[in-house]
Chain A
Amino acid sequence: MGTGSLGRTWPAKNKWQIPGGYENGENINSQSLPIPNQKNGGQRTVHVLHNSEQPASVFAILEYGNKVVPLIADRLFDLVILKMTNVCTDKKQTKIECKGPRFELVDFCIKLGSVTMTQNFKGVLVEIEYRPSVVPANCWELIREFVQGFLGSAVSSQIPQYLQNRMNEIYQPMDTIHQYLEHFGQYRKSTGVI
């Protein structure tokens, strides 16, 4: 495969460097905890996510109407969430996991995650990261070309909705989480495999 925009080609043998194969596997898991209506009404949901890329952190996203409050915390935050079991109604069926191999190809990091919702296979999510850049606007074209290089034109050329208003901001781990959550939401709504 040639990474044309870099003006370099790589010998076929070195196509993928697979450090540790599955051991370096990606693992994003999400748990959604709806909170029953309170005095002032409105449904709140807390999504708790873990990303094996940031093993020491917990990402929590609170959704309340149109309002979204993100929170990044140490791993022990999970224990606080456990203490809140009476506040949040923990629905076992809302656990979603995305798990699979992680590859590195020079500056790119590729993760192929199969999505399961309580053991039911729902689909595959492909994550591509261009590691030297932290501003999406600077590397979107490069990433798009790279993905279309191996997944073909089936890949949309549209910038993902979440990133559209954030193209010139510094990309942070929370942005990855938001994008996964968006996809998880779609899987949750659908009944079959997408």
Chain B
Amino acid sequence: MAAPIGTAMDSLSAALKSKIIPNQEYFLQGSILDSAVEVLLHRLRGLCDNVDTGPETFHDHEMCFSIRRGPPPELPLFLRVRRALDYPDMPWQLRYIGQPELGDKSQPTVVRSSLDIATSNTVVEFLTELGCRLDFEYIIRGYMFRKGRMKVTVSKIFKMNQGKLPDGMEPMSQSYLVELSVLAPSGQNAIAEDIRIFAEQLKPLVQLEKINYIR
């Protein structure tokens, strides 16, 4: 007789134990003024992997939900839903984001636990019925570059205009958000150093830093 069939949870906890699930996000953030963004894009085109095809563009709608797990001081659970406005047939993305850890000076990047999950388009209704509250939502449009395992995004955030999608979008600010991130299994701290080195190469165009969200 062959080996018994393991349950779904068994295989998941085995995957967790052997650390093959990418559940840690290492990242740095910064911003650049609209007037200088072209220079940064040129610089990234030179530094990153996808030179021949050019940067990938994206145009997403992101909704940020939270659900209370208990009375304060218990922190709520933060969940984000993202869908591609330019590819409406693509799966929607559900993302769990943990509390960012700044660490001490020797830690080059911010680390937060993160789970990226592709889902069906019923996810918003599912979360709403579950009792999640929509905190805020926005439209994000920009470019994505790759450098090894690193993801570099240069994007602009727009306010949601009720009922007017996506025409007449109003930008949040006169600058672009620059994000350098890697999603990796826990314990791979070496990748943080790679991010720091890459961030150095973008200076002085953009200052990528560990941002303290609590302040």
Contacts and interface: CB of A to CB of B under 8 A. Distances in A.
Does chain A bind chain B? yes
A58 B9 CA distance: 11
Contacts of A62: 126, 129-130
Interface string A69-95: 111111111111001101100000000
B125 A84 contact: no
A86 B69 contact: yes
B23 interface: yes
Given A52-B5, A87-B69, A71 B129 contact: no
B70 interface: yes
Contacts of B8: 27, 29, 50, 58, 75, 78
Contacts, number: 95
Chain B residues touching A, majority SS: mixed
B43 to A, nearest CB: 34
B39 interface: no
Contact of A20 (B2, B16, B96, B122): B2
B12 A73 contact: no
Contact of A71 (B5, B68, B115, B126): B126
A21 B2 contact: yes
Contacts of A23: 2-3
A86 B70 contact: yes
A64 B130 CA distance: 9
Given A23-B2, A35-B130, A83-B77, 10 more contacts: A27-B7, A64-B129, A69-B125, A72-B119, A72-B120, A74-B119, A76-B115, A77-B94, A80-B94, A86-B74
14 contacts: A22-B5, A29-B7, A38-B131, A44-B131, A70-B126, A73-B94, A73-B119, A73-B120, A74-B118, A74-B119, A79-B23, A84-B69, A84-B77, A86-B69
